[in-house]
C-alpha cells in the first residue's frame, strides 16, 4: 500500500496517472496536484470509476516550497513524482527533504532564465538526501530514463567495457501540423536550439546547433535524418558506465520542423530574453508556446511510430562486441490506451515504473541517483509488462 503525490497535470502527467491507476496494487492512493486544479479534477473524473486507486486532487504552486510542504504534510505521500517542468525540480526536492518523502523526476533542473541544463544542481543534494534517509531518482523518463537503464543492462549482461554509445531518438510520427512540438514547446525549443555536444575521451566537444547530421534506417519507421544534440544523460552515463571513449545523442527532425524553427529563431521568437510589449514584459518563447498547439492535443492526430534506443560497441572476454536495444512505440496505440501520443507515453510509463521500483524497495537507497546506478533487470522486466517492450539486435548498422 503506497501513496504517490504526482505534481503536474500535462501530457506526461496524464500517462503517469493512467499507468498508476492500472497498477493499483502498488499505487493504492494518488494525489494529482498542479497549478491548474481543474486539469487534475478532469483526470479524476475520467479515471476514478475505472480504478481501485483512490484519487485525490489539489492545487499547488510548485515554485513555492512552503505550499509544497503544507501539501506533503497533509497528504503524507511515500513518493513525489515530479512531472511538472524542470524549473520546479529544486523546489520540489527541498520540500521532499523537509517532509522526508522520496523523489523522482524525468528531466534535470534548468534555471528559467538560462537555457542550460546539467546535473550539478541536483547532485549537490546527495548528502542531504542520504542524511534524511530518502531516495531521489533523477531522469526516469525515456531519454533520460530508459536509455540509462538500457546502458546499465548492456553493461551488466553483455560487456566488460563499453567504449562507444550512440543514443538514437527517432520520432516517425506525423501530426499533420506544419509545426508543433511533441512535449512542452518551451522546454523542447530550448533543447533543440541550443549548441550540440558529445563526450569524447572524457571531454565535452561542442558543435553548432544541428551541425552534425546522419541518416539512419530505423526498424518499423524507415530512413530518417537525425542530428546530434546535447542531452543530459551523457553527463551521468560518462561517469557511470565503464570504459566510455565516446557518447553521442541523436534525434530525428523533419525538414518542415527545422525550416520553421530556423525562421522563428531568425525573427527572435525563440528568445528567452524578456521584451516589453504594450507596456508589459513578455518572453518571446513563452508567447510562442501560447500560440502553438498544446502537445496534449496532438494525441488523436498523430500517426506513426517512435523508435528510441542505444547502440553499444565495446569488449567482452577480449573480443569486440556490438549491441543495439530499442523500443518501438505506436502513437495511435498509445492514444487508444491512455489518450495521448507516444512521446508522453514513452516518458510517463518509465516514470511510473521508476516510482514502483522505489515503492517496492528494489531501488530504495538513501541519496540522489541516476537510473543507471541501480539494478536494471526489474525495470527491464517492467518495461515489457507495462507497455514498452524492447528488442535486441547483436549485429546493428553502426552510426558513422
Ligand atoms: P506540460 O507542459 O504538458 O505539463 C507541465 C505541467 O506542469 C502542466 O500541467 C503545468 O501546469 C504544470 N506546472 C508548470 N509549472 C507549475 C508550477 N509552478 N506549479 C505547479 N504545476 C506547474 O509538459 P509535459 O507533460 O510535456 O512535460 C513534463 C515534464 O516531462 C517536463 O519536465 C519535460 O521536460 C519532461 N519530459 C521528459 C522526457 C524524457 O524522456 N525524459 C520527454 C518529454 C518530456 P498548467 O497545466 O497550469 O500549465
* Whether residues 237 and 267 fall in one domain: yes
Last residue of a domain, one of 82, 112, 138: 138
> Minimal CA–CA distance to 164: which of 200, 208, 119, 216?
200
Q: Which pLDDT band holds residue 114 (cuts at 50, 70, 90)?
A: confident
Last residue of a domain, one of 113, 138, 163: 138
* Whether residues 180 and 294 fall in one domain: yes
Whether 365 is covered by a domain: the verdict is: no
Residue nearest to atom 10 of ligand 1 (CA): 8
In order of 99, 136, 232, the CA distances from 367 in angstroms are 15, 6, 19
Contact partners, residue 390, CB within 8 Å, separation at least 6: 150, 309, 325, 326, 327, 380, 383, 384
Most confident of the ranges 254-258, 296-300, 356-360: 356-360
* Whether residues 127 and 235 fall in one domain: no
Q: How far is 60 from 299, CA to CA, in rounded Å?
A: 26
Whether 240 is covered by a domain: the verdict is: yes
Ligand 1 centroid distance, CA of 157 (Å): 34
Q: Which pLDDT band holds residue 118 (cuts at 50, 70, 90)?
A: confident
Summarize pLDDT for 329-380 with one digit per residue, the tens. Answer: 999 999 999 999 999 999 999 999 999 999 999 999 999 999 999 999 999 9
Residue nearest to atom 23 of ligand 1 (CA): 184
Q: What percent of the chain has pLDDT over 70?
A: 100
Name the residue of 9, 12, 115 to mutate for ligand 1: max ligand atoms within 8 A of Cβ.
Answer: 12
Alpha-carbon torsion (328, 330, 331, 336), positive or negative: negative
What pLDDT does residue 10 have?
92
Question: What's the whole-model pTM score?
Answer: 0.95
Examine the pLDDT at 392 and tell me if it is beyond 90. yes
The binding-site residues of ligand 1, defined as CB within 6 angstroms of any ligand atom, are 8-13, 34-36, 39, 60-63, 83-86, 88, 106-107, 139, 141-145, 183-184, 187, 295-296, 343, 347
Ligand 1 centroid distance, CA of 398 (Å): 34
What pLDDT does residue 299 have?
87
Which long-range contacts link 94-99 to residues 24+ away (Cβ below 8 Å)? 94/65, 94/68, 95/65, 95/68, 95/69, 96/72, 96/134, 96/136, 97/125, 97/128, 97/129, 97/132, 97/134, 98/65, 98/69, 98/72, 99/69, 99/72, 99/73
Q: What mean pLDDT comes out for the span 104-116?
A: 86
* Whether residues 277 and 133 fall in one domain: no
CATH code, 213: 3.30.360.10
CATH code, 8: 3.40.50.720
* Whether residues 120 and 179 fall in one domain: no
* Whether residues 173 and 27 fall in one domain: no
Ligand 1 centroid distance, CA of 218 (Å): 28
* Whether residues 166 and 294 fall in one domain: yes
* Whether residues 117 and 188 fall in one domain: no
* β-pairing verdict for 135-138 and 102-105: parallel
Examine the pLDDT at 37 and tell me if it is beyond 90. yes
Q: How far is 30 from 17, CA to CA, in rounded Å?
A: 8
Last residue of a domain, one of 118, 138, 158: 138
* Whether residues 118 and 155 fall in one domain: no
* Whether residues 196 and 258 fall in one domain: yes
φ, ψ for residue 49, nearest 5 deg: -75, -10
Name the residue of 33, 41, 80, 85 to mutate for ligand 1: max ligand atoms within 8 A of Cβ.
Answer: 85
Residue range of the domain that includes 51:
2-138
Q: What mean pLDDT comes out for the span 82-97?
A: 97
H/E stretch holding 263 reads helix 255-266
Whether 369 is covered by a domain: the verdict is: no
Q: What mean pLDDT comes out for the span 134-151?
A: 98
Please tell me the total count of domains within the chain: 2
Q: How far is 58 from 72, CA to CA, in rounded Å?
A: 11
What pLDDT does residue 194 have?
87
Examine the pLDDT at 119 and tell me if it is beyond 90. yes
Q: Which pLDDT band holds residue 192 (cuts at 50, 70, 90)?
A: confident
* Whether residues 35 and 125 fall in one domain: yes
* Whether residues 207 and 68 fall in one domain: no
Amino acid at each position: 500500500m503506497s501513496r504517490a503525490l504526482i505534481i503536474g497535470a500535462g501530457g506526461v502527467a496524464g500517462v503517469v496517472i493512467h499507468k498508476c491507476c492500472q497498477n493499483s496494487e502498488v499505487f493504492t492512493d494518488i494525489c494529482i496536484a498542479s497549478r491548474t486544479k481543474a486539469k487534475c479534477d478532469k483526470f479524476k473524473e475520467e479515471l476514478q470509476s475505472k480504478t481501485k486507486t483512490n484519487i485525490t486532487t489539489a492545487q499547488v504552486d510548485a515554485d513555492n516550497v512552503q505550499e509544497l510542504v503544507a501539501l506533503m504534510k497533509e497528504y503524507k505521500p511515500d513518493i513525489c513524482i515530479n512531472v511538472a517542468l524542470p524549473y520546479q525540480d529544486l523546489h520540489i526536492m527541498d520540500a521532499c527533504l523537509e517532509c522526508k518523502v522520496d523523489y523522482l523526476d524525468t528531466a534535470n533542473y534548468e534555471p528559467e532564465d538560462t537555457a542550460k541544463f546539467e546535473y550539478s544542481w541536483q547532485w549537490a543534494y546527495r548528502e542531504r538526501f542520504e542524511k534524511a534517509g530518502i531516495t531521489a531518482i533523477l531522469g526516469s523518463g525515456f531519454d533520460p530514463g530508459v536509455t540509462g537503464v538500457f546502458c546499465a543492462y548492456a553493461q551488466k549482461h553483455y560487456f566488460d567495457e563499453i567504449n562507444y554509445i550512440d543514443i538514437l531518438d527517432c520520432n516517425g510520427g506525423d501530426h499533420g501540423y506544419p509545426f508543433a512540438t511533441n512535449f512542452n514547446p518551451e522546454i523542447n525549443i530550448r533543447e533543440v536550439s541550443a549548441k550540440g555536444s558529445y563526450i569524447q575521451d572524457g571531454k565535452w566537444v561542442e558543435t553548432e546547433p544541428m551541425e552534425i547530421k546522419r541518416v539512419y534506417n530505423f526498424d518499423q519507421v524507415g530512413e530518417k535524418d537525425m542530428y546530434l544534440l546535447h542531452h543530459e544523460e551523457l553527463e551521468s552515463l560518462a561517469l557511470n558506465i565503464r570504459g566510455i571513449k565516446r557518447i553521442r545523442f541523436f534525434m530525428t527532425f523533419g525538414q518542415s520542423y527545422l525550416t520553421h524553427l530556423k525562421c522563428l529563431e531568425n525573427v527572435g521568437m525563440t528568445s528567452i530574453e524578456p521584451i516589453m510589449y504594450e507596456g508589459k514584459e513578455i518572453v518571446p518563447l513563452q508567447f510562442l508556446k501560447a500560440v502553438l498547439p498544446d502537445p496534449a492535443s496532438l494525441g488523436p492526430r498523430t500517426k506513426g511510430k517512435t523508435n528510441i534506443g542505444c547502440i553499444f560497441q565495446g569488449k567482452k572476454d577480449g573480443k569486440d562486441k556490438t549491441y543495439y536495444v530499442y523500443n518501438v512505440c505506436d502513437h495511435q496505440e498509445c492514444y487508444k490506451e491512455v489518450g495521448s501520443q507516444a512521446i508522453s507515453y514513452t516518458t510517463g510509463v518509465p516514470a511510473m515504473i521508476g516510482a514502483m521500483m522505489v515503492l517496492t524497495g528494489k531501488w530504495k537507497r538513501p541519496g540522489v541517483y541516476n537510473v543507471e546506478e541501480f539494478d536494471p533487470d526489474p525495470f527491464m522486466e517492467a518495461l515489457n509488462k507495462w507497455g514498452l517492450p524492447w528488442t535486441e539486435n547483436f549485429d546493428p548498422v553502426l552510426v558513422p
